[in-house]
Amino acid sequence: MSSVTLEHITKRFGEVTAVNDITIEVKDKEFLVLVGPSGCGKTTCLRLIAGLEEVTAGNIYIGDRLVNDVAPKDRDIAMVFQSYALYPHMSVYDNLAFGLRLRHTPKKEIDRRVHEAAEILGIAALLNRKPKQLSGGQRQRVALGRAIVREPKVFLMDEPLSNLDAKLRVATRAELIKLHQRLQTTVIYVTHDQVEAMTMGSRIAVLRDGILQQLDTPQTLYDRPANMFVAGFIGSPAMNFFDAKLVGTPDAMYVDGNTFKVRVPADKAEKLVPHLGKEIVFGIRPEDIVDRATVANVPADSTMKVQVNVVEPLGSEQFVYLLSGDTEFVAKMDARTPIRAGQQMEVALDLAHMHAFDRATQVALT
């Protein structure tokens, strides 16, 4: 158990700045997720914390201890990699025990830790098998077990579920959350999958091009994204964006998108007063767009006339791709609403959940 602090960390590989001035405080026992697209610096962050790479600038603390110059093996950290090569000729037991033997852990202690980890992971019955006699999910658990037996202060996990099929991923995701609750250990978990990030993280750090975009709870990232990148990255389908202009007066402010004009609610308008008259990007999530006909008391100036382009039924809901002028956007609607491609319809926007971004800087204005 330990906190991990990254203080203005930068890592350059020649010309490439993989990690750019990142500051993150991971709390003791926290499950922190690092998320972002391929190449944004996630793995590099983990390797810096593990000591497998040296920082170009900045400080890394594990607990109160500055570890910049501490060797990986003395950092009390265990890392689970994406490609978790198990030793194929060794039994599960020996795979789990291997690292401890290297460290000259007493035999009795090894035996205790292996059985405890196997118990936690539900693989106690598999200890005599070889890796090739295991399913993908079981192999994944052995890989986790190798980290658990070390009883580290901090777990670093780099896309540990990416080799599993979709169904097993979801199941293992839930197991990992339970595992974290049981072990009460700090976990820093890397993924490029925003659903994984949202479901697992107590807090999420969103990275782009080596730069930290926002660090907060899943709900805050969703409700109040700091910029268009986070707004578009968190949530599925992604938030819809429209080029628009803020018009009207402070007391009657509108988003004018050319083909639609909607009223800005008072609390949002208050914050947007300095931007009145400016070009902005208007954002609305697919779930905040409904069929006008299905809701009572739709406020004035919250609707759009649209054409239905494509309908994707998903059973529980449907993704409806709509056209307003030339702009395509998507709504997540009740599957029971009868909607056909090609038809005209009127949709109502839940403007209490609207977003507005600066056109140039892409920073959130509300």
**Binding of ligand ATP by 297 (CB under 6 A):** no
**Binding of ligand ATP by 6 (CB under 6 A):** no
The answer to whether 45 touches 19, Cβ cutoff 8 Å, is yes
**Binding of ligand ATP by 160 (CB under 6 A):** no
CB proximity list for 349: less than 8 A, separation 6 or greater: 262, 284, 288, 289, 302, 303, 304
The answer to whether 22 touches 55, Cβ cutoff 8 Å, is no
**Binding of Mg ion by 191 (CB under 5 A):** no
**Binding of ligand ATP by 265 (CB under 6 A):** no
Residue span binding ligand ATP (CB under 6 A) among the ranges 38-46, 125-133, 179-187, 345-353 = 38-46
Q: Name which of 80, 151, 83, 87 is nearest 113 in CA terms.
A: 151
Report the C-alpha gap between 305 and 261 in whole angstroms.
Answer: 10
Choosing from 27, 39, 105, 238, the residue that interacts with ligand ATP (CB under 6 A) is: 39
For ligand ATP (CB under 6 A), the number of binding residues is 12
**Binding of Mg ion by 44 (CB under 5 A):** no
**Binding of ligand ATP by 38 (CB under 6 A):** yes
**Considering beta carbons, is residue 52 or 174 the nearer one to ligand ATP?**
52
**Considering beta carbons, is residue 43 or 240 the nearer one to Mg ion?**
43
Residues 162-201 that bind ligand ATP (CB under 6 A): 192
Query: What amino acid occupies position 333?
Result: M
Choosing from 2, 20, 43, 185, the residue that interacts with Mg ion (CB under 5 A) is: 43
Residue ranges that bind Mg ion, judged by CB under 5 A: 43
Binding site for ligand ATP (CB under 6 A): 13, 16, 18, 36, 38-44, 192
